[in-house]
Amino acid sequence: MMMRTGWISIAAMALTIASGPVQGQELSNGAGPSNTETTELTIDLPACKRDMQAWKVFSPRKLDIDPKLWNDPYFKKRIEESDARWRKEDVIDVTWVDIDGDGWCDAITSGDKEPYKNAKGKPTLLFQPRAIYIRTGHGFIPFREGMITEQYEGSSFTIYWDTQSHSAVIFTRVYQGNAVGGIGEGSDEFHLRQMLRASFAAHKAGRAEEENDYYVEVESFLYTTLQIPRATSKRIWAEEAERAGVDLAFPFLN
């Protein structure tokens, strides 16, 4: 039996940096013709260069203060205190991903250590993301103008790479709510398949917590038909259970 969480509901929204719709090509990350979905997404994120010098001096607090005041004793102290608190509370972990496809690593900060950010052969999964900062030639800037340092608190990220647009695609699950969103034809099915694949692998290995961690990311896809028809969800479930060699029945009757 799959584990269940105490959350009242799960929302899967999609945050995408891609410039166009996802469609067309089949991915080959270990799947055969019978268990792939039509999509340009892959779990393999490209290597990127880290600008650690720019990251070391990056100050989100300075973005809110006129540069003319940065060296004023009063504002300088406020900046230092705010940055110290930010690094202590919202930058406990950093995931380096090339979000915009320029070859440089962008930074996703997390409020806790991320156990699955480097999971081999599985999607990059973050449970405690706080904010996204894009590396530019002038240093780091927030992914969205006006973004606060704890913008994504209460959400999880699953990060894929779009081989067509050469940019990252991030599925966001909000811990409360029941809205389900998508990012293009085939993408939701791909996400469902990859999370079930990781969950079933953990089940077979006897890692119950890891099994549940991946499962809850897509549980909402299984009990609604807003994005994925029930027949499609059942088919993907059956294919991945067979692939993993586990005897797990589809969790919802209708």
Tell whether the model's pLDDT for residue 158 goes beyond 70. yes
What letter would DSSP give residue 8? Answer: S
Query: Is residue 222 domain-resident?
Result: no
- Whether 222 and 233 have beta carbons less than 8 Å apart is answered as yes
For the stretch 33-47, pLDDT in tens is: 334 566 899 999 999
The number of residues in the chain equals 254
Confidence of residue 184 (pLDDT cuts 50, 70, 90): low
For the stretch 67-86, pLDDT in tens is: 899 998 999 999 999 999 99
For position 77, what pLDDT does the model report?
A: 93
Query: Is residue 236 domain-resident?
Result: no
- 87-115 burial string, b = 16+ CB within 10 Å, else e? eeebbebbbbbbbbbbebbbbbbbbeebe
> Which domain covers residue 25, as residue numbers?
11-183
Q: Other C-beta atoms within 10 Å of 252: how many? A: 13
- 134-162 burial string, b = 16+ CB within 10 Å, else e? bbeeebbbbbeeebebebbeebbbbbbbb
Whole-number percent of the chain with pLDDT over 70: 80
Number of domains within the chain: 1
Query: Is residue 105 domain-resident?
Result: yes
Query: Is residue 43 domain-resident?
Result: yes
Confidence of residue 183 (pLDDT cuts 50, 70, 90): low
For position 175, what pLDDT does the model report?
A: 79
For the stretch 91-146, pLDDT in tens is: 999 999 999 999 999 999 999 999 999 999 999 999 999 999 999 999 999 988 77
Confidence of residue 191 (pLDDT cuts 50, 70, 90): very high
Cα separation of 236 and 177, whole Å?
24
Query: Is residue 197 domain-resident?
Result: no
Cα separation of 154 and 126, whole Å?
11
Cα separation of 106 and 99, whole Å?
6
